Structure 1
Amino acid sequence: MVKIRLKRMGAHKKPFYRVVVADSRTQRDGRFIEEIGYFDPMVEPNVIRIDDEKAKKWLAQGAQPTNVVKDLLKKSGIIE
């Protein structure tokens, strides 16, 4: 099963996340298929940049977003 999920980057106590498409069996920060955006919770307001064409393509192919990514996609206006 393919998931759309966050990959943690950044320094200790300064997280930065990439939104990636990955096989559900791989580890959180392991191999991924494609990077479709990023999320920076450390700045105010939070920065969310997601390529809507790539996200819609993967969702159409059956990729399942995690709960957090689903909320980010809603805030970005990609899904309702």
Structure 2
Amino acid sequence: MALKIRLSRGGAKKRPFYKIVVADARSPRDGRFIEKVGTYNPMLPVESEQRWILNDERVKHWLSVGAQPTDRLIRFFADRGLVAKTAKPEQTKKPQPKAKAQQRAKDNAERAAALAAEAEAPASAE
């Protein structure tokens, strides 16, 4: 049985409130869970003590038996010192234009440089 530590959404429309739960990975997001280990209220200010409430001992226990936290919870647990912080993946290269478009851009840049050189030559001669 694969265990996940994840957020289970509650609260009203546009007023979210999350329970931090340990659940089977196959169960629905807001469905059955094994244990509630904390809460998260994103409506509170960041510096509020009640924004994240967590039972650290139970989280450590579930991590020790193999429960996998979600990406968001890994970031939070790393801030609390429960897990090692993971490195951000490197950004992928932006898509490049096709060969003809690259050649056209190169030609335009060369033409602009040549025109700029011609404009400077008469100005320097005077």
TMscore range, shorter length: over 0.9
C-alpha displacement at 1:69, in angstroms?
1.2
Structure 2 stretches lacking a partner, 5+ long? 85-126
- Count of equivalent residues: 80
Greater mean deviation of Cα atoms: 6-15 or 65-74? 65-74
Matched, 1:21 2:22: yes
- Taking structure 2 as the reference length, the TM-score comes to 0.60
C-alpha displacement at 1:78, in angstroms?
2.3
Tell me the distance in 2 between the aligned counterparts of 1:62 and 1:32: 16
- Taking structure 1 as the reference length, the TM-score comes to 0.93
After superposition, give the CA deviation of every residue in 1:25-58 in whole Å (9 maximum; x if it has no partner). Answer: 0000000000000111111126111100000000
Structure 1 stretches lacking a partner, 5+ long? none
Letter in 2 for 1:49: I
Higher relative contact order (Cα pairs below 8 Å, separated by 6+ residues): 1
Flag the structure with higher helix content.
Answer: 2
1:21–1:35 Cα contact (<8 Å) kept: yes
Structure 1 segments (4+ residues) deviating >6 Å: none
1:57 paired residue number: 61
Letter in 1 for 2:45: E
Letter in 2 for 1:64: Q
Aligned residues with identical type, % of pairs: 46
1:74 paired residue number: 78
The structure whose Rg is larger is 2
- Measured on the aligned residues, the alpha-carbon RMSD in Å equals 1.1
